[in-house]
Chain A
């Protein structure tokens, strides 16, 4: 029985350019690439965890299509509807429980959908759905809370969006590589106040796959596996979360548990890279404090003075004062604004964090944060994972 679980391989397919494959073809391509990279075939894997939401695939029981494509034929296969990281947790538990030695986690997005309509369909039919509330409007409510509490300004929202767009320019997998500037963002049309169109994530198409392994298998198959040293979830109430949208108690629970598992005491000193799920730009600012990057109310200052992106100083703001003596990258992939696949987003973010850790010798530990807020706030769930280069 394994004491630790490692991620030994990842592969991404699509996202940039025109994606013409169906979801099973996308998943098959990504999983085959991930298995080849790990030097194993489909026969070696024991379990498959697919991440998807039926509505994003436009059919019911959509894992029927993708589970065999992910290598699940005649294997132990499941499907988790979260955001991607919840499927990674499923495979992680499967390996630690002794049920599997090698597991594939995969998801794919191929169907064109109206994310606002799907989001609205996730709200309570009697009290909320009729108001037309959706993902964008609920993210706008969070952004409004940031404004009301004096934590950030509309300028900060545009700045954090521009930071992500700049990082996305050099991410070969990114869907949006346009590198929109602060000026582009602040002058883009208002969609749902205070959110502007360039502060809202697109709907992206592609697939992501990971291969998870027990400690023994990971050491056998990979020269430098990345170990999952912390992974946890949390949830928020549907009705209760209206009271203070910035409380994000479910996110705090997931962060607290994952940090404890990994022995993270001071995230500023202990973490080198964060990949965060912010389908609306202001959410990144709302996460800084729960993640332990700053005190409540200081997200704006941190953005302007301390955060670096993809290893470079952010140039989107004139101040550029450095407050931390070390480099912490937040969304070096460009985040959800540059790539937002609804089914496999969390797996994509994990792969992005892995790529950053692989490419940067100094970087040792990364945090992947994920949630299902693509469907909107209220009743949302969160997951957080810590990845590390070597055994602790």
Chain B
């Protein structure tokens, strides 16, 4: 009989701009870990192992986890450092799940670092992730990577620019209800469309900000989860997928690798009709339009029908399948903590603790993370009550 792992607690700081941040990296780590421990009724001595997730290059240091004292190093517990780019949060949670399902540990702490706090120019760092001979010299940064996918999608599906503005506004309005979110202005689609074009077709208000804040989660084995938590959120299935490194082999026609991953994860979770069976989702959208491509990749609708899902408010507040009720990555992108938060937000929704942004009685949720050069990596998790 396969062992089970559950999320039993979430600890989060409020998010702000990197430029306005006054808390140190150590203070943020301490605050998030303390919050997660306190919410679980645990002390650091109860943790068997910690998983730290971040991307070194952006942290302006090497292996920053080593200098932070927040993860139980004083008690000499194992500390595992996971870095798979933007998807590192998902990869770290998957690592914790495997350690618990394997019976190696009972209680594992996962920490999502505020990756961007120390960096001067994110795009310059991200550019080093591009293939060095042919692509890096073009100066490719994150927004260009997003634009490849979104311009192709517009062309393939005759999508008007307004749809990207609508989905951006849906996220901005949701973030206004989330007390933890960074951008809480609730911009309308008109305001989004009036914002400057950054890299066609992506406008400023369709781009994520660089945020600061941290998140910690505690995962536990079945026995410990039932002892410690009234509403444990079970990780019913979780996996990741890798694409090629070189961009030339990619078609940018939707998130084709996420589609393969979703089929694999749904099969493991026994989900046959994701649109009907999933109640709430957090999909990784550093550029607002990504959400539409993700609806199709994770099977919420058929190819080319994402626009209709949006227009029918299926994924909005009060909809049949609310997506990114946190305001998504487009309103709060604190680096790797943003990919841990996708899971934390779904867990809070299922626990009924999503203050200000709670969806009515969800029992099955989907959490997604994305990262690497041109979105090379995805992780996907089905979480259930």
* B132 interface residue per 8 A CB criterion: yes
| Among B56, B74, B98, contact of A54 (Cβ-Cβ < 8 Å) | B56
* B63 interface residue per 8 A CB criterion: yes
CB distance from B173 to the nearest CB of A (A): 32
CB distance from A91 to the nearest CB of B (A): 9
Q: Which residues of A contact B260 (CB under 8 A)?
A: 74
CB distance from A277 to the nearest CB of B (A): 16
| Among A74, A86, A249, contact of B76 (Cβ-Cβ < 8 Å) | A249
Question: Can you list 12 A-B contacts (CB < 8 A)?
Answer: A1-B1, A55-B62, A65-B245, A68-B243, A69-B245, A73-B244, A81-B63, A86-B80, A86-B81, A90-B80, A238-B68, A375-B63
Q: Which residues of A contact B68 (CB under 8 A)?
A: 238
Cβ of A60 and Cβ of B128 under 8 Å apart? Answer: yes
* A189 interface residue per 8 A CB criterion: no
* B69 interface residue per 8 A CB criterion: yes
| Among B72, B82, B85, B99, contact of A93 (Cβ-Cβ < 8 Å) | B99
* Stretch with Cβ within 8 A of B (4 or more), from A7-15, A36-44, A228-236, A330-338: A228-236
* Stretch with Cβ within 8 A of A (4 or more), from B193-201, B272-280, B315-323, B370-378: B370-378
Cβ of A78 and Cβ of B84 under 8 Å apart? Answer: yes
Q: Which residues of A contact B65 (CB under 8 A)?
A: 379
Q: Which residues of B contact A97 (CB under 8 A)?
A: 2-3, 97-102
A59-B128, A93-B104, A234-B76 in contact; A124/B67 too (CB < 8 A)?
Answer: yes
* B154 interface residue per 8 A CB criterion: no
* A61 interface residue per 8 A CB criterion: yes
- C-alpha spacing A34/B332, complex, angstroms: 43
* A79 interface residue per 8 A CB criterion: yes
How many A-B pairs fall under 8 Å by CB?
Answer: 205
* B43 interface residue per 8 A CB criterion: no
* B211 interface residue per 8 A CB criterion: no
* A-contact bits for B1-21, CB 8 A (1 contact / 0 none): 111000000000000000000
Q: Which residues of B contact A234 (CB under 8 A)?
A: 76-78
Q: Which residues of A contact B131 (CB under 8 A)?
A: 65
* A92 interface residue per 8 A CB criterion: yes
Cβ of A61 and Cβ of B239 under 8 Å apart? Answer: no
Cβ of B98 and Cβ of A235 under 8 Å apart? Answer: no
Q: Which residues of B contact A55 (CB under 8 A)?
A: 56-57, 62
Cβ of B76 and Cβ of A235 under 8 Å apart? Answer: yes
CB distance from A328 to the nearest CB of B (A): 26
A233-B80, A235-B78, A249-B76 in contact; A1/B2 too (CB < 8 A)?
Answer: yes
List CB contacts (< 8 Å) of B68-120 with chain A: 68-69, 71-74, 76-85, 91, 94-95, 97-104
* B309 interface residue per 8 A CB criterion: no
* A-contact bits for B244-286, CB 8 A (1 contact / 0 none): 1100000000000100100000000000000000000000000
> A residues within 8 Å of B by Cβ?
1, 24, 48, 53-55, 58-65, 67-69, 72-82, 86, 89-90, 92-99, 118-119, 121-125, 232-240, 249-250, 252-254, 372, 375, 378-381, 383
A61-B84, A76-B240 in contact; A125/B76 too (CB < 8 A)?
Answer: no
* B49 interface residue per 8 A CB criterion: yes
| Among B1, B69, B102, B373, contact of A239 (Cβ-Cβ < 8 Å) | B69
A61-B84, A97-B102, A381-B79 in contact; A74/B257 too (CB < 8 A)?
Answer: yes
Cβ of B373 and Cβ of A61 under 8 Å apart? Answer: yes
- C-alpha spacing A90/B98, complex, angstroms: 8
- C-alpha spacing A59/B133, complex, angstroms: 13
Cβ of B66 and Cβ of A380 under 8 Å apart? Answer: yes
Chain A residue with the shortest CB-CB distance to B102: A96
Q: Which residues of B contact A78 (CB under 8 A)?
A: 82, 84, 91, 94-95, 240
* B125 interface residue per 8 A CB criterion: yes
Q: Which residues of B contact A73 (CB under 8 A)?
A: 242-244
Q: Which residues of B contact A68 (CB under 8 A)?
A: 242-245
- Of all A-B residue pairs in the complex, the 4 with the closest CB atoms, nearest first, are A60-B57, A233-B78, A379-B66, A96-B102
Chain A residue with the shortest CB-CB distance to B71: A235
- C-alpha spacing A378/B102, complex, angstroms: 30
A60-B125, A77-B242 in contact; A82/B80 too (CB < 8 A)?
Answer: yes
Q: Which residues of A contact B99 (CB under 8 A)?
A: 93, 97
Chain B residue with the shortest CB-CB distance to A129: B61
Cβ of B245 and Cβ of A24 under 8 Å apart? Answer: yes
- C-alpha spacing A239/B94, complex, angstroms: 30
- C-alpha spacing A383/B78, complex, angstroms: 8
Q: Which residues of B contact A119 (CB under 8 A)?
A: 62
Cβ of B377 and Cβ of A82 under 8 Å apart? Answer: no
* B129 interface residue per 8 A CB criterion: yes
- C-alpha spacing A122/B79, complex, angstroms: 16
* A-contact bits for B187-220, CB 8 A (1 contact / 0 none): 0000000000000000000000000000000000
CB distance from B263 to the nearest CB of A (A): 12
- C-alpha spacing A48/B56, complex, angstroms: 20
CB distance from B4 to the nearest CB of A (A): 10
| Among A61, A99, A375, contact of B371 (Cβ-Cβ < 8 Å) | A61
Chain A residue with the shortest CB-CB distance to B95: A90
Cβ of A64 and Cβ of B376 under 8 Å apart? Answer: yes
Chain A residue with the shortest CB-CB distance to B256: A74
A78-B84, A81-B83, A235-B79 in contact; A60/B56 too (CB < 8 A)?
Answer: yes
Cβ of A253 and Cβ of B76 under 8 Å apart? Answer: yes
- C-alpha spacing A383/B98, complex, angstroms: 17
Chain B residue with the shortest CB-CB distance to A381: B79
* B58 interface residue per 8 A CB criterion: yes
- C-alpha spacing A285/B346, complex, angstroms: 50
CB distance from B222 to the nearest CB of A (A): 13
* B241 interface residue per 8 A CB criterion: yes
Chain A residue with the shortest CB-CB distance to B5: A97
Cβ of B240 and Cβ of A60 under 8 Å apart? Answer: no
